[in-house]
Amino acid sequence: MKQKREKINKYIIVSIISVCLGIFAWWLVTDGLEIFRSNVLPSPTKVLRTFGKKWVETKPDGATLLQHLGASLQVALGGYFIGALIGIPLGIFMAWNDKIDMLVRPVFDLVRTVPGIAWTSVMVTLVGIGFMSKALVIFISAMVAMVINSYSGIKQTKTVHLWVGQTFGASNWELLTKIAIPSALPMIFTGLDVALGASWTTLVAAELLASTRGLGFMIQQARGISRLDIVIVGMIVIAITGSILSAIIRKIGEHVVKGARLQ
């Protein structure tokens, strides 16, 4: 336990140092040595000022940074949770039941090879620009990752564990719920983490094409008027928010997996 804590602390320290070095190098080539002009690459100080202003100003895209972030989170988490509700059970039952696998796999194999962003135009045509079109695109991206990892987790269940359960008279449902699913939890939560990253990335890309509010929309509008400082602010917020959400999923996964092992 002590070694694990020391390893985590070391990782945090190294991460902070690397980020600081990156910011210093950025400052050096802008404000420091003036290798790049501010209209080509904004300095960290300018981006920081823009970050502060964008919390209260709606210019030039009609909303504050918090409003854009809230719009993006609403759509991303909505599509993500629907993808989890459908993708995880679907992956589990595809792996557990050969008939379901044979029925669903041909369609799923076709869907999973198409990038999530490619569905944007289709969804916009079907339901128009708005919450639903982006949520459906995110749902597809999230569901694919969750199905694949849930499927793999169930398939990796050790046969000897299933044999032991059968020896003690466990039913097929008990084998699934008490042996296979607990064994697959690490893979399932990995799928949740991967799907979250896919959802967040797909959302921003979808907002670049079909949105009236959100971080992707903010970036697109800023790019059109050559406000690279706002573009960088959007990128930083996307990165930080994605990291926080991913850390939350991993933390929940650690507690759930540990609890399942103790039972």
Average pLDDT over residues 203-225: 80
Range of lowest pLDDT (3-7, 19-23, 223-227): 3-7
pLDDT in tens, 40-88: 888 899 999 999 999 988 888 888 999 999 988 888 888 899 999 999 9
- Residues 221, 200: Cα–Cα separation, whole Å: 19
State the pLDDT confidence band at 261, using cuts at 50, 70 and 90. Answer: low
Confidence class of residue 1 from pLDDT cuts 50, 70 and 90?
Answer: low
The 10s digit of each residue's pLDDT in 237-255 is 988 988 898 888 888 888 8
Residue-level pLDDT at 197 = 85
pTM of the model: 0.82
What percentage of the chain has pLDDT greater than the value 70?
Answer: 95
Amino acid at 65: L
- Among the listed residues 25, 132, 139, 125, the one whose alpha carbon sits nearest the alpha carbon of residue 81: 139
User: Quick one: pLDDT at residue 4?
Assistant: 67
* Residues 242, 200 contacting (CB under 8 angstroms): yes
Closest residue by Cα to residue 154 from 109, 83, 97, 84: 97
Q: What is the pLDDT of residue 48?
A: 92
pLDDT, tens digit, 9 for 90 and up, residues 84-122 = 999 999 999 999 999 999 999 888 888 888 877 778 778
Judge whether residue 263 has pLDDT over 60. no
Element (H, E) at 189: helix 181-209
Q: Share the mean pLDDT of the chain.
A: 86
Confidence band of 262 (pLDDT split at 50, 70, 90): very low
- What whole-number distance in Å separates Cα of residue 207 and Cα of residue 204? 5
Query: What DSSP designation does 118 have?
Result: G
Whether residue 181 is predicted with pLDDT greater than 60 in this model: the reply is: yes
Above 50 in pLDDT, residue 124?
yes
Tell me what pLDDT residue 259 has.
55
State residue 87's pLDDT score: 93
Please tell me the distance from the alpha carbon of residue 218 to that of residue 71, in angstroms, as a whole number: 11
Range 27-44 average pLDDT: 84
Whether the CB-CB separation of 199 and 190 falls below 8 Å is answered with: no
Question: Rounded to an integer, what distance in angstroms lies between the CA atom of residue 247 and that of residue 237?
Answer: 15
* Residue 231, C-beta contacts closer than 8 angstroms, at least 6 positions apart: 219, 222, 223
Instruction: Please work out, in degrees rounded to the nearest 5, the angle formed at the alpha carbon of residue 248 by the alpha carbons of 247 and 251.
Output: 85
- Residue 207 pLDDT exceeds 80: no
Q: How far apart are CA 22 and CA 209, in angstroms?
A: 31
